[in-house]
Structure 1
Amino acid sequence: MGIPALHADEAAPTAESGTEARLAPVQILGDVTATQRLPGSAAVVGREQLETEGTTDIHQALKTVPGVYVQEEDGAGLRPNIGIRAAPPGRSSKVTLMEDNVLIAPAPYSNPAAYYFPTMMRINEIEVLKGAPLLRHGPQTTGGVINLVSTPIPRERGGSIETVVNDRGGTDVHAMFGDRSGDWSYMVETVQRRGAGFKDIDRSHRDTGYDIQDYVGELRWDGERQSIEAKVQYSEETSNETYLGLTDADFARDPNRRYGLSGIDQMENDHLGLSVTHDIDWSERVRMATTLYRNEFARNWFKLGGGGAFIDDANRGDATAQRILRGEDDVAGLTYRNNNREYVSEGIQTELGMDFGDHWLRAGVRYHQDEMDRFQPDDIYDQVNGSLVYQETIQPTGSNNRFEDAQAWSFWLADEWYVSDRLTANLLLRYEDVETSRTQYADTQRNVVDSRRSNSSSVWLPGASLTYDFTDRWQLLAGVHRGFAPLGGGATEDQAPETSTNWELGARYQGDNAFVEAIGFYSDFSDFVQNCSVATPCSDGSTSGTFTTGEAVISGLELRASTGVDLGSFHAPLEASYTYTSAKASADNPASGQQEGDRLQGIPRHQFSLRGGLEHASGWNHYAVVKYIDATCNSDGCNRSAGAFDRTESLTTIDLVSQYPLGRNTDLYARVSNVLDEQQIIARSPDGARPNEPRTFSVGLTHRF
């Protein structure tokens, strides 16, 4: 199980080969080789990479993909922040997230912030799609699509169990078993994760860890020309996480400290996912896949609200605020909110694929509805002699007592046209029709309406992309498409959704033992919109709704390359990726305070990864992974500020992995992440400076049966 090479000798898919027609309905790309021929940019993080590196944090896996930005928050990847190209990473709300080709954000249209994310240990591969071909998926179509492909049902009886322990007492267990009998097959799977965390809370015996339980069951029937697959997933999480970070002074002394004010903060959530997929080949040239899905997610993140004000005051030199944070001064009226929300996301989608020889035509439709029910009481505490003393509970009204929902129809048409042996074109058209509403209540019984608002929008999204093979080794790719991001349930009738024009142009080289790709991208916004939340406040300080900043241009360059050399009895694979991004306001906007040239929040200028290995035929393999991410703005326009408190710090980490086979079906792993123990301020939102995970030693054992 080595680092998968990015090059291969397989032929490019053609209309005659039917490669696309053989894709499983849960996939959107196929294997690594398919991404190298796609009329648009894409990447696959394969099973080998995920298993070898022992990735349990989606941020770490995606740092190796060019054009993808991540902003860590808790150091464990529990609440991911992922962006792609012109989509900033805040709560992953500007990218389309899917598991097995099904929308997975709690409420993708009305509340797209990804407070739920699948457990990475049960993910088999990650597909990342950018450029015009992403118009087959949505609703967010500006930056890109991430599809998490879960563990497939085995073709014959078998299973595996993996156990990993680390030096802080954390334990991860992943077990699966499946079988096939005639036309029927099934799989059961579980992930059990328990960690103590890496931070210490002042004056508290509570750890900063988590307890996650995830269960999956799948049942499949295969007929002569059709199949039906049903999947059920259930998970629970309890994590002692907070929004409260540190002042810069305290971060410099001990980045792994947590203030006692956050000692009672805790997230509890559960998720239920159901889906049924019917796949049928009507003929050798016509195929249809239909999926019915429903996701339910409930969470209550009990945590301190307003702690960021103490952080800001202390960073400005307020000694009283600093003493309150350290528990040295008493303070009354601290608000701890029960951030209680329940989500439902459900729908039905179908896509018809038709092979007309030189044209591979796909037409699809989806009806989707989602909702978010927010009922959030506040508990009031005083800090007395460094301890938290409960005072009262305040029942919610207004924005803390509201219901939001969305209904959406989506249609798409994609024509993959094999114009000649050298030229392939993708012509795409997508239509989104979205209606959202919000109702706020003035009483706990919800008999009195405080306010109502609604929004409706419809948009046509055209796109086109192509590849042209100059030679058997060199290929040109180009594309343009219109991007779209829905406004969410808090939008008013006079607001228009964010749209953009997105271009890409690049070249690929595929040699006998090397692959190189360079792609430039350019996105032009007339109405760049930020999604506001407490976790990722907008540039105007808003923590709910949206904030339109104005005109903006986000452009950059993505590079990736891979090769491999033989060193005696070892093979040494090597691959690298680099992303440069310029994200700036392109015009003054007096209404928002934006100035031309303002650097946009959350998007790093430089990002780099290097992965190398030494692989032996015996299976005794060693790998090193280097990752670099540049500093980012915490809010728009930090380039006009001389202060350090409105930006994060750059970070370089090195991970080492060794793998040794104990037997034919058993492997032993030893891993050291963040070898140099580098910790920097990787985020300032929410509420203060936050570190990445320190150096961590882990040992794992995988047995297949």
Structure 2
Amino acid sequence: MKKSLLSSSIIAALLVSAPSFANDSIDLDADIEQIKIIGSKQESRATAGSSAVVDEEQMRIEVATDINQLMKTVPGVYVREEDGQGLRPNIGIRAATAGRVSKVTILEDGVMMAPAPYSNPAAYYFPSTFRMSSVEVLKGAPLLRYGPQTTGGVLNLVTTPVPETFGGQVLTEFGENSSRDIHAHVGGTDGQFGFLLETIQRSSDGFKTIDRSGRDAGFDIEDYVAKLKWTGDRQSILAKFQYSEETSNETYAGLTDADFAENPNRRYGISEIDQMNNHHDSITVNYNLELSDAVELNVLGYKNHFKRNWFKAGVAKGLINAANNGDLDALAVLHGEQDYQDITWTNGNRGYDSYGVEINSGIELASHVIEVGLRDHTDEMDRYQLKEVYDQINGSLVFDSFIQPTGGDNRLEKAEAMSFWVTDNWQVNEDLLVHFALRHEDVDSSRRQFATPDRSELDSARSNNSSEWLPGASFTYNVSDNWQVLAGAHKGFSPLGGGAKENQQPETSVNYEAGVRFNQGSLFAEAVAFYSDFSDTTQVCSIANPCPNGAESGNYVLGESVVRGLEFQASNTFEAGSFLVPVDVTYTHTKGEISKDNLNYMDGDELADIPQNTFSVRVTLDNNDGWINYVVAKYADEMCVSVGCNRSDSRFDRTESVFVTDFVSRYEVDNNMTVYLKVENVFDQQKIVARSPHGARPNKPQTASFGVEYTF
């Protein structure tokens, strides 16, 4: 089936059949500046599905540079840290596992931002949190409007808007480890035209020290955004351009448990030359047309390109495992006290392209608000990984030879996807809101692997097609002025990726949620129970997240599983003399396990990367005179490193529970300038928050920074 022909015919049908109404104005967001999937925090507390918004106020106060820390304050979200600085996030939502955010749909202003969302969804690129104005998390049946990952949730990062009048901001932060963070933007609107120019500049020496090396373990990041906007009579167009570069001296090598206990911020000299280099560029053009007071059409075109090379050694995993099991020779190699021959470094050289067109029509019809849309999408990955061989001699690394890329190091992967959706928000009466959703995903994926470096001889080829209809329904009902109940069910889907074989089936699940909300004055509370039943749980294999069979590419089927749990959040504002004290609390309890015996696992085997309990509390002390103090405490239980760790007594099969407290104190000097002090991990609690990739890994230690925010 030629997808472009199908998209053209459906688009034409949408345009021809769209009715014209002259009744009351439709309640659709005609502002294309920021494509939001929820809206405000207040709107998130009334959706026909559980959701959350980290709003502009929280983003501004926390001065967030690490998406992991923000997500720890959202119920139903699980974080497995890796580098301690948020450069390569691992985020899961409910039943969607955390590894490289590959099971969560990542959006920036409504546009998919994984390097290759269908063929290679692992998030080796993640948009810079520092330049975002808010973050939205959508769960439950309403997430079927988005995709392709529709099991756990959608994560939408909302960027800085074009100002209505000329103005801007410069924020500069300096901290320990020679860290420097700058966020600056300027823009304005004059008549029909508006613009925004924005940049972030970040650098740090990192908090780890590399054995026998003068090289730091830090990073340099630069990110640029330009927006141009035109608003006419009942129509508008926005063009957004983005470019970023990163150099980070990051490694896959962790530590042995014994070395971690002695100094968690140590790095072995064998990882000295490991480094990630990448750049990302994107362009989106968004056109909005109000066909009538009741009908709106939005056309979005996008293209993303991501190029990276992560140069890293693969030997660390075997050496660390051996040393943990008492191998003194392996430990001596890690410590640089023993020579070692033929250590292979891989240039993880890959290019990704994703592009497509999305058309969405919003229609108001009596008590219904209907959306009908489609997306024609293509993404590709080009892997060409030259390897380099070194010897460790007298504690130093000496180059030996090259290994040309063939087989798994030399391949092309591609996916073509056509998505169609229709949703209906039906206000049945004053108290009952019903939401219906139907999504269809048709995905063709392929891989070509080459036997020669010049790609003149094919080594192997594979392809896969999957086609799924995904229905869902949910509702909210106002029991009284203060109480509301909600419930919903939907079918979830996760594409297999470019490595899928012909007969493999995609991951599907049936997901349920039900809960209750209470709202009175400043007090809000919500409790939602969720249950996800998987027919075939799949894992995307990678070096960072190897599958249980040892595979570092392709997919692995775990079998039938169930993930169930309870999410709770509450907020209230108290008064203490002249101070206002807003308090926000979240808690999540989750249990994920294999639900049926199979060849590899048993009923009751726990799933990986899901903490049983997570908790956060945010407390603000505001004197209403420009001085605000802010404390956030976050806790997460230990997690299984691999499926079935509950049947093992080995500590190496689990991470450690971690409790971290952050503090921010802000003072408004005048209407334009604010200064602040931020201390992360106040009590300097460092634990083994991950064992993948390749050994024990810590969270960030106690780190202080000072910032100045100037607005004009």
* The two structures share one fold, judged by TM-score above 0.5: yes
Aligned twin of 1:142: 151
Aligned twin of 2:196: 187
- 2:634 aligned with 1:654: no
Among candidates 469, 472, 481, match of residue 472 of structure 1: 481
Post-superposition Cα deviations, 1:94-127, rounded to whole Å, max 9, x if no partner, equal 0000000000000000000000011111101001
CA contact (8 A) 1:369 1:406 kept: yes
Partner of 1:314: helix, strand, or coil? Answer: helix
Aligned twin of 2:46: 37
CA shift, 1:17, in A, is: 8.0
Aligned twin of 2:395: 386
Q: Distance in 2 between matches of 1:439 and 1:16?
A: 54
Aligned twin of 2:439: 430
- 2:324 aligned with 1:315: yes
Partner of 1:328: helix, strand, or coil? Answer: coil
Equivalent positions of 1:434-473 (< 5 A) are 434-473=443-482
- 2:73 aligned with 1:70: no
Q: Distance in 2 between matches of 1:248 and 1:577?
A: 31
Partner of 1:631: helix, strand, or coil? Answer: coil
- 2:370 aligned with 1:361: yes
Q: Distance in 2 between matches of 1:514 and 1:464?
A: 28
Q: Distance in 2 between matches of 1:117 and 1:504?
A: 29
Aligned twin of 1:624: 631
CA contact (8 A) 2:24 2:294 kept: no
Q: Distance in 1 between matches of 2:341 and 2:675?
A: 53
Equivalent positions of 1:199-598 (< 5 A) are 199-590=208-599, 593-598=600-605
Q: Distance in 2 between matches of 1:16 and 1:500?
A: 39
Which residue identity does 1:132 align to in structure 2?
A
Equivalent positions of 1:666-677 (< 5 A) are 666-677=673-684
Identity of aligned residues (%): 52
Among candidates 151, 160, 167, match of residue 169 of structure 2: 160
- 2:672 aligned with 1:665: yes
Aligned twin of 1:606: 613
Bigger drift between 90-99 and 530-539 goes to: 530-539
Partner of 1:313: helix, strand, or coil? Answer: helix
Cα 1:570/1:22, change in 2 over 3 Å: farther
Aligned twin of 2:5: none
Q: Distance in 2 between matches of 1:655 and 1:691?
A: 16
Partner of 1:463: helix, strand, or coil? Answer: strand
CA contact (8 A) 1:650 1:680 kept: yes
Q: Distance in 2 between matches of 1:415 and 1:26?
A: 19
Q: Distance in 1 between matches of 2:364 and 2:428?
A: 14
Among candidates 683, 689, 700, match of residue 690 of structure 2: 683
CA shift, 1:540, in A, is: 2.4
Among candidates 110, 120, 129, match of residue 120 of structure 1: 129
Q: Which runs of 5+ in 1 are unaligned?
A: 1-14
Q: Distance in 2 between matches of 1:676 and 1:21?
A: 44
Among candidates 116, 133, 141, match of residue 107 of structure 1: 116
Which residue identity does 1:295 align to in structure 2?
N
CA contact (8 A) 2:30 2:288 kept: no
Which residue identity does 2:619 align to in structure 1?
G
CA shift, 1:20, in A, is: 3.7
Aligned twin of 1:28: 37
Cα 1:558/1:20, change in 2 over 3 Å: farther
Aligned twin of 2:14: none
Post-superposition Cα deviations, 1:404-449, rounded to whole Å, max 9, x if no partner, equal 0000000000010111111110011000000000000111111100
CA shift, 1:599, in A, is: 0.4
CA shift, 1:305, in A, is: 1.0
CA contact (8 A) 1:437 1:452 kept: yes
CA shift, 1:51, in A, is: 1.3
CA contact (8 A) 1:106 1:113 kept: yes
Partner of 1:595: helix, strand, or coil? Answer: coil
Cα 1:22/1:616, change in 2 over 3 Å: farther
CA contact (8 A) 1:303 1:338 kept: yes
Q: Distance in 2 between matches of 1:152 and 1:525?
A: 39
Q: Distance in 1 between matches of 2:225 and 2:415?
A: 28
Partner of 2:83: helix, strand, or coil? Answer: coil
CA contact (8 A) 1:23 1:30 kept: no
Q: Distance in 2 between matches of 1:117 and 1:21?
A: 26
Q: Distance in 2 between matches of 1:342 and 1:155?
A: 38
- 2:109 aligned with 1:96: no
Q: Distance in 2 between matches of 1:22 and 1:569?
A: 41
Q: Distance in 2 between matches of 1:527 and 1:327?
A: 45
Q: Distance in 1 between matches of 2:29 and 2:340?
A: 65
Which residue identity does 1:127 align to in structure 2?
E
CA shift, 1:542, in A, is: 1.8
CA contact (8 A) 1:407 1:436 kept: yes
CA shift, 1:23, in A, is: 6.0
TM-score (norm 1): 0.97
Post-superposition Cα deviations, 1:68-117, rounded to whole Å, max 9, x if no partner, equal 11110000000010110000100000000000000000000000000001
Which residue identity does 1:69 align to in structure 2?
Y
Q: Distance in 1 between matches of 2:360 and 2:612?
A: 38
CA contact (8 A) 2:24 2:293 kept: no
CA shift, 1:16, in A, is: 6.8
TM-score (norm 2): 0.96
Q: Distance in 2 between matches of 1:548 and 1:311?
A: 27
Q: Distance in 2 between matches of 1:226 and 1:303?
A: 50
Which residue identity does 2:256 align to in structure 1?
T
Which residue identity does 1:156 align to in structure 2?
T
Q: Distance in 1 between matches of 2:326 and 2:657?
A: 25
Q: Distance in 2 between matches of 1:216 and 1:21?
A: 23
Which residue identity does 1:113 align to in structure 2?
A
Q: Distance in 1 between matches of 2:221 and 2:498?
A: 30
Which residue identity does 2:542 align to in structure 1?
S
Partner of 2:669: helix, strand, or coil? Answer: strand
Q: Distance in 2 between matches of 1:648 and 1:220?
A: 48
CA shift, 1:513, in A, is: 2.3
Partner of 2:497: helix, strand, or coil? Answer: coil
Which residue identity does 1:698 align to in structure 2?
S
CA shift, 1:19, in A, is: 4.1
CA RMSD of aligned residues (A): 1.0
CA contact (8 A) 1:64 1:627 kept: yes
CA shift, 1:616, in A, is: 1.9
Bigger drift between 615-624 and 342-351 goes to: 615-624
Alignment length (residue pairs): 689
CA contact (8 A) 1:628 1:651 kept: yes
CA contact (8 A) 1:599 1:637 kept: yes
Partner of 2:549: helix, strand, or coil? Answer: coil
Bigger drift between 19-28 and 450-459 goes to: 19-28
Post-superposition Cα deviations, 1:218-265, rounded to whole Å, max 9, x if no partner, equal 000000101000000000000000000000000000000000000000
CA shift, 1:21, in A, is: 3.8
- 2:657 aligned with 1:644: no
Which residue identity does 2:648 align to in structure 1?
S
Q: Which runs of 5+ in 2 are unaligned?
A: 1-22
